[in-house]
Chain A
Amino acid sequence: MSQGPSSPLTAARLVIARDLLLAFRRPEQLLQPLAFFVMVTTLFPLSVSPELAQLRAIAPGVLWVAALLAALLALDFLFRDDAQDGTLEQYALSGQSLTWLLLGKTAAHWLLTGVPLSLMAPLMGYTLGVPASAGAGIMLTVALGSLALSFIGSIGAALTLGVRRGGVLLSILILPLAVPILIFGSRATQLAIGGEPYTAPMELLGAIVVLSFTLAPLAAAAAVRISLE
């Protein structure tokens, strides 16, 4: 067995590079959450009303619920492939800190789902009658919110490894914990659309990111070890 890289940070970086490479070899999987996000958003003009004034009023909620559901859908395959082909087992045995390796995996997952979602969100907002000037704010809030969701969701994804029909269970486990993200995220988006300063909810969102970024990988690593037993 070869000697692994010494620093946990290097190991996490290598995991990110590997996951990005794997994902770009199969880009259709990347597009699925994005397509889901667009489709859910499209349902609202069809079901509520195509009137822009009405759509603009519900736009923050629509964007956030759609982004949350799309990110949840993507979380289902955060660890699944690596658990099935034994990669996670190798990670656990590698002697590197599993926490750092999972932090890398989750960060890569965010780069592959959260970032595209946050780039798409202003565009979908525009179709809902949101002024283009709010685009940067929407992008920023969705990016931060999806980062927190990726980390919190990694716990759920690790817990439901090896569970039959784990996808539905994953949503039930994670949604109650994701509610604060939804509250502050949609509030920030609402303020951004209204052209008001949205730093206060953004700071709370940032606090959630810091909290989940530091604690969630520990819980996820514990959960992965349990699933490997």
Chain B
Amino acid sequence: MTWTWFHRLGSPPYVYRLAGRLTPWFGWVAAVLLLGALYDGLVIAPPDYQQGDGFRIIYVHVPAASLSLMIYTSMAVAAAVGLIWRIKVAHAAAASCAPIGASFTVVALITGSLWGKPMWGTYWVWDPRLTSELLLLFLYLGYMGLRSSFDDLQRADRASAVLAIVGVVNVPIVKYSVVWWNSLHQGSSLSLTGKDTIATPMLVPLLVSILGFTLFFAAILLMRLRAEVLRRERAASWVREALSS
């Protein structure tokens, strides 16, 4: 087993080209899956017996919420890789994750509160799930704030990496807040091990939508990563060659 593939991922020109090649694949598959999932979820799937058509917001809300956690974890892993092996591209990847993750957190909060108005009668409750998701947003904002407050890129990378790793403690708190505390927010309908508590016609578009949004995240991440690598390597000769060709 050779580690050349891993070492090559530390090279900015290689990552720039690889990301460029992969972006359309992720992007187009995401577009197809999302369109299919939204049509299936918004038109074909039957209305919920309790929530009527209101439940259909889960096809955006659940993927956004789970991505907000997944992106934070990815960001922390990328930051740890950058900190441990001193790989600059990993820091660039972590930096590219943060604004996307923050956006998904905002989407999850907004769609959740839009759903909460007809279902709970209010846009916002100080519920553990909602509050911890809001804290996740603050963690993203703190990460971006810390990153932007250093002039020196290396220090910004390393200091924000420590913060990202420390902030991981919030991820299980958000994930299990509905289990640990008596929460107004309903429990998860999906389960990897047990039986899903959602009917199959409703479940299929949800799973497709989660997959679609994840690939959408991958495509956006690769685009941001390319821009970030270009910005960091703007003095390098390969950038001039890549951009002139």
Contact = CB atoms under 8 A, between A and B. Distances in A.
Size class of the A contact interface (CB-based, 8 Å): 20 to 34
B165 interface: yes
A88 B155 CA distance: 17
A169 interface: yes
Nearest to A152: B166
B138 A176 contact: yes
B139 A180 contact: no
Interface in A135-189: 155, 159-160, 162-166, 169, 172-173, 175-177, 179-180
B145 A172 contact: yes
A172 B163 CA distance: 12
B170 interface: yes
Contact of B146 (A169, A176, A219): A169
Contacts of B154: 229
B173 interface: yes
Nearest to B131: A179
Interface stretch (A1-9, A41-49, A220-228): A220-228
A223 B83 CA distance: 11
Given A219-B162, A226-B159, A229-B154, A177 B167 contact: yes
Contacts of B136: 176
B138 A180 contact: no
Contacts of A180: 173
Contacts of A223: 159, 162
A50 B235 CA distance: 64
B191 to A, nearest CB: 26
Contacts of A165: 149
A44 B186 CA distance: 36
B166 A177 contact: yes
Interface string B110-150: 00000000000000000000010001101101100110011
Nearest to A163: B149
B102 to A, nearest CB: 13
Contact of B170 (A172, A176, A226, A229): A176
A177 B150 CA distance: 22
A172 B142 contact: yes
Contacts of B170: 176-177
Given A159-B159, A176-B167, 18 more contacts: A160-B146, A166-B149, A169-B146, A172-B141, A172-B142, A172-B145, A175-B138, A176-B142, A219-B162, A219-B165, A219-B166, A222-B83, A222-B162, A223-B159, A223-B162, A226-B162, A227-B155, A229-B154
Ranked 3 nearest A-B pairs via Cβ: A176-B135, A226-B158, A176-B138
Interface of B: 83, 131, 135-136, 138-139, 141-142, 145-146, 149-150, 154-155, 158-159, 162-163, 165-167, 169-170, 173
11 contacts: A155-B162, A159-B163, A160-B149, A163-B149, A164-B149, A169-B149, A173-B145, A175-B138, A180-B173, A222-B162, A227-B159
